[in-house]
Each structure stands twice: as C-alpha cells, then as structure tokens.
Structure 1
Amino acid sequence: MSPRDASVVLTGAAGGLGSAIARRLFEEGACLLLVGRSEAPLLTLARSLSVGARDRSRVDALVVDVTTDAGRAAVIDAAGARNANVLINNAAVAAFGPAQALQSEAARRLMETNVVAPMMLTAGMLPMLLTRPRAQVLNIGSTLGSLGVPGFSAYAASKAALRIYSEALRRELADSCVRVQYYAPRAIDTPFNSPEVQAFNEETHSASDSPEKIAQGVSRLLQSGSTQRYAGGFEAIAARLNGLFPEWLDGAFAKHRRALKSLKFPNGASS
C-alpha cells in the first residue's frame, strides 16, 4: 500500500524507532494516529510533524496505555474516526540479563506489552479493517524472535510469540482484504538499549542499524506487501538456518555467553 493511501495507527510512536517510523511515513504522505504512554514526547512529535504541513489533520496523538482494555478501546474508537486501514504494532519493552535474574513483574509486563497488547489491539481493530477495500497489520518483531541469543531469553520469547501469531494470523486472513506482515529488526541504535545491552553488543561485535534505516525498511515492507522481512543479510540467513538446524548454531554463541557473564547489572544480578 502506498503511504499516500494509508491511514496508520502506530503504537509506541514516541520511542526512538516509533518516532522514526512516524517521520518517514508522514514525509511519504501517510495520515497518522500516534499512540503512546509518554505524553510529552508524543505530543512534541505530533506538533513537529504538523508544522508546515498543508493538512494538519493528517497527524493526531493519543496518550493511552495499550496494555489496558480502556487504552485499546480508545485507540479503536480514534482509529474508526480516522478511517484507519493500517495498524503498526510497534510498542514494546526490553528485557536483558541472565535468565535466573528475571522477576515475575518484569516478565508479566514484558508479555503484556510485547504479546498480549498487539494481539488484543489487532483483535479489536479487525472488524473495522475487514470493511476496508485494503488493509494491513504490520507487527514489529525482532531477529531475536527467530534466533535465540544468551541474555535475551525472555525478550526473545516475547518476539517469537509475536512472530508465530503473525504467521498464523496471515494464514487465517489469507482470503480477506487484510494483509498481515512481520518486520524483524536487529539491534537498533536507540535508548531502548540499556547500557548493559550496548556493552554486550560492543563486546560481541553485534551489528546495529539507525532507527531511520529500520523506518525505511518498514515503509518498503508496507509498500511491497511482502509477508515478512529481516533487517541485515547475515541475520536473515542465520534466522533461517536456525529454523532448520538450531543445534548447528549453538557453538557460535560462546562469545555471547562470556560477554553476558562479564557484565554487572544494576540489581546486582550476574551470570
């Protein structure tokens, strides 16, 4: 779908990647409903996009928590008013550290934000999207959802769940007007990464991308109509190889295990 034909609901819009996606799609002609929990950066982003725009109604902001029923209901109402035909589930929280340090509240928040919220928001918006001539649901996942890396066990589990959900939903809606897509970035240079993650990536020489580059990839995926895409050629090959022969790659993560053990975390946890 061309951005000029898209009325987009974008969750997690105030974050580093979300704001880059918003700017990219707005520049390309899309209408945007920016959704997020952080009021000040969300409204600042909406104002910055509308400055100089011929039609300021092309962008609006909604400060809600999509992990709540009330928040999702508000998004669905606003999406209906804006004749939305694209949903980008981008909101997410991070998790990194040794598996034994995972706390129940952090695990609950991780799954509610990264898995339950996009599933329930999609479920709520589908009756409306199915009435459009064309519609798309794009879920922002991660390479880690296809390639398990030490230190990211909980986060990877949440993204793997989103990946399989996207795959099943795509097949369920294959004969409808709704196209389901999945985009898997690798590491992104944003504050989403904690200092520990940054140190880990540096020690393991993990490649990363700018949020603007990933936003470009998201736009291309929307326009191409392809089902899924991975950022980074090596990561795409590794993810596919891991799906076929996962044990073959186990030995490749020795440096990641060493890097994880060398780190000190704010809560005192260590491997």
Structure 2
Amino acid sequence: MSGKTVLITGAGAGIGRALAIEADRLGHSLILAGRRAETLRETANALPRPARIVEADVTTPEGRRAIREAVAKAGGLDILINNAGKLVSGGIEALTDPELDALVATNIAAPVALTRDLLPALTARRGQVVNIGSVFGDIAFPYFAPYSASKFALRGFSEALRRELAPRGIAVTYIAPRATRTAAADNFGALVGPMAMTLDDPAAVARHAWRAISARRREQFPPSRERFFVALQRLRPQLIDRALAKLAGDPAVVAAARRNPEAGET
C-alpha cells in the first residue's frame, strides 16, 4: 500500500503527528492540515521527505476550501484521515456553550463536511476514509459525556458511510484508541489516577492504526483489555453501567472531575 497520497487533519501534534511520521515511514506522500502553521512545520520537519502544509481550520468553509485546493495541487487523494478533535472533561454542569459548540463543530460537523467535500477525489481513486474515534465512542464514560457523545456520533457516521460508499469501492475505517499521551490529556489529568486510566504513547497508537488502515479494515480497537470491555458493553451494557456508575460516585473521582480546564485538542 505504499505510495498513496494521504491527508491528515490535526497533523500538528499528538496522534496526528504520529500518524504522519508512520505514514512517511510507509512511503506515503502527505498533506498536513491544521490550524497552526508553526506546529505543522514541526511535524513536517520530523519527516525525512517533504510534505505539503495546509494552514486551515477544518470547521470553516474557507478552511475546507483550502484543503480541497491542496488536494487538487497534489494531483488527487487516496486516504483522508479525519483526526482533528476537541476534548472536554468534567461534570456536565460545568460545560459552557462555547466548549459545546467547538466540540460539535470539530468532532462531528467537520469530518462529515470534509468527507463530503473530498468525495470526488476519493471516488476517482477508490480511496479510503479514516475516522479517528475513541474507545469512549463505545463505552460512554462519566465526566466525559459530551466527548463520548461526539465519538458515538463519529462511529455512527463511519458505519453508515461505509455502507453508502461500498458500491463506489471506497473503504471506511474507524479507529478507536484509548486515552493517549497528548496535549489533550492535560484536560483530564486530574482524572487519570482516580479513574485508573492508562495513557498510550502516540507513536504506538499510530503504528497500530496504520496496520488497520493499510488493510482497509472496517474498525480497530486497542490491543488491550479495552477490547474486551467494548465487547461486554455491546453484549451486557448493564454490567458496564454498574461499574462506571460506582466509579462516578467515588469521592476522589468526583473531586477530580470538578477541576475542569478548557477544552483541549486531541
């Protein structure tokens, strides 16, 4: 699967940067999209080969237009990776309207709109859409309710889109990592200990993700205990309800959840 043209949103840091480094290692040509040119250049400088940089806010029509123009200049597109995301943690009563608007715009509306806009290019090459979701898109965690809701929506979009685009030969892959050691993790740092979270390294997440992307698989979950919990959530959700409701009431978790910083980027 070498030699593909790959567009990654949110490529300036975290999982996006790790996905770019791994894609370059696999021999792909890259278009790096993000809101900050400086961090995109940092990602590009970490790559042995040149990459195209598109400074664009994917939540805006103007940003998506800039991305379409970059794809046209690159001569087409094989793989779109919708990676840009926002994360909000803490009790629902602390959620502000601006946080909610940014979360919905980035995690739901932007992947849908960008996929729509780039569909002609993907159709021409029988390409692939990759949506970076989360285990929280299957297991809805307390104190991550809005974020979980956005990833449930992205998973639903991925499933419906897979069926819709199959006749065109376009694959849709949903990647669901668990918590990852990125800047967004600072948003829920106080919850990591009380909720016994394990944070994965972005490079390991990217290597694991690219195995699924290269094989054009329908979905991928972490090679860890979370895979079992996802299966249990689908088969016996009441068991997960009891465990997480108990965790939500733990005094240490309740105290940590009150420390709710501003939304962070995944």
> Does structure 2 retain, via aligned residues, the 8 Å contact 1:151–1:260?
no
Task: Work out which of the residue numbers 117, 130, 137 in structure 2 matches 1:145.
Answer: 137
Work out the CA distance in 2 between the residues paired with 1:179 and 1:15: 26
Query: What letter corresponds to residue 179 of structure 1 in structure 2?
Result: A
Question: Structure 1 regions of 5+ residues with no counterpart?
Answer: none
Work out the CA distance in 1 between the residues paired with 2:6 and 2:236: 38
* 1:100 and 2:87 correspond: no
Which residue in the other structure is 1:216 paired with? 207
Work out the CA distance in 1 between the residues paired with 2:249 and 2:36: 35
Q: Which stretch of structure 1 is more off in the superposition, 138-147 or 248-257? A: 248-257
Aligned length: 258
Task: Work out which of the residue numbers 179, 183, 186 in structure 1 matches 2:178.
Answer: 186
Which residue in the other structure is 1:110 paired with? 103
Work out the CA distance in 2 between the residues paired with 1:44 and 1:235: 32
Deviation, 1:47, is: 2.8
TM-score by length of 1: 0.91
Same amino acid, percent of matched pairs: 34
Change (3 A) 1:266 1:246: closer
Which residue in the other structure is 2:9 paired with? 11
> Does structure 1 retain, via aligned residues, the 8 Å contact 2:18–2:202?
yes
TM-score by length of 2: 0.92
Which residue in the other structure is 1:123 paired with? 116
2:168 is paired with a residue of what secondary structure? coil
1:49 is paired with a residue of what secondary structure? coil
Deviation, 1:229, is: 0.6
> Does structure 1 retain, via aligned residues, the 8 Å contact 2:6–2:28?
yes
Deviation, 1:44, is: 2.1
Which residue in the other structure is 2:264 paired with? none
- RMSD between superposed Cα atoms in Å: 1.6
Q: What pairs with 1:27-38 in structure 2 (closer than 5 Å)?
A: 27-38=25-36
Query: What letter corresponds to residue 99 of structure 1 in structure 2?
Result: I
> Does structure 2 retain, via aligned residues, the 8 Å contact 1:11–1:88?
yes
Which residue in the other structure is 2:44 paired with? 46
Deviation, 1:139, is: 0.2
User: Which of structure 1's runs of 4+ aligned residues deviate more than 2 A?
Assistant: none
Change (3 A) 1:158 1:84: same
Query: What letter corresponds to residue 241 of structure 1 in structure 2?
Result: L
Change (3 A) 1:148 1:266: closer
Query: What letter corresponds to residue 48 of structure 1 in structure 2?
Result: A
Task: Work out which of the residue numbers 118, 142, 155 in structure 2 matches 1:163.
Answer: 155
Which residue in the other structure is 1:265 paired with? 259
